[in-house]
Amino acid sequence: MTSTAPTANRTYDLGFARWVSQNVEGGDRLSMCMQCGVCSGSCPIAGQMDHGPRKLFMMIRAGMKEAVLRSDTLWNCVKCYRCVVRCPREVPVTYILSGLGTVAVREGYAERQDTERFAKAFWWSSRTLGRTDERLVTGKYYFSFGLVAGIKKGLANLPIALAMIRTKRMHLTAPHKIKDRKGLKAILAKAAEIEAHEGEAS
């Protein structure tokens, strides 16, 4: 893969960094990043990202908007929060990556359809089990593309799954679920009722 990292002679354009700082959740802490690399070194998925978080933050400072918003780092981050816990400068890495993902979809750098498919799978797990089960969410998302495409996507991302299992971020036992799923159902039904009511009133 061609490297899009900034070179030593590059003229830095702080416009994008300023924009991220003002418009992306957690972006106001970006200037605190001292490029120590603890986040990328702690990330179980760094090997499956085209740029680790440290490098991505340097690219933001370098004004490399397109490369940042097209980066698969935004989508391969599994939100384990290791980087956030370990960052010595309290940079909310996970929030920044999520916020950049939202910008990428909004500005057409990422496929909206893909994120919607994933959101549907995520919501299905949340409302059915009361938890998000990594394997089921991922499986449901992959197979929403069809059987063959689902198997291909699963095989292509196998290294990520293995890294997550190795670091205990994905389990192999029965699906995670809450005990009171009936209670959850009642809460969600009530929420839908209130929402419908508010929709009629407005």
Q: Which residues bind ligand SF4 (CB under 6 A)?
A: 33-39, 42-43, 45, 53-54, 57, 77-83, 87-89, 91, 93-94, 97
Identity of the residue, 88 or 159, whose beta carbon is nearer to ligand SF4 in the bound complex: 88
**Which is nearest to 49 in space by CA: 26, 78, 89, 27?**
78
* Residue 109 amino acid letter: Y
State the Cα–Cα distance between residues 8 and 25, nearest whole angstrom.
29
Smallest separation (angstroms) from ligand SF4 to the CB of 107: 21
Identity of the residue, 98 or 128, whose beta carbon is nearer to ligand SF4 in the bound complex: 98
CB neighbour class for 174 (10 Å; exposed up to 12, middle 13-18, buried from 19): exposed
Smallest separation (angstroms) from ligand SF4 to the CB of 155: 21
Identity of the residue, 64 or 97, whose beta carbon is nearer to ligand SF4 in the bound complex: 97
State the Cα–Cα distance between residues 43 and 130, nearest whole angstrom.
27
Smallest separation (angstroms) from ligand SF4 to the CB of 27: 12
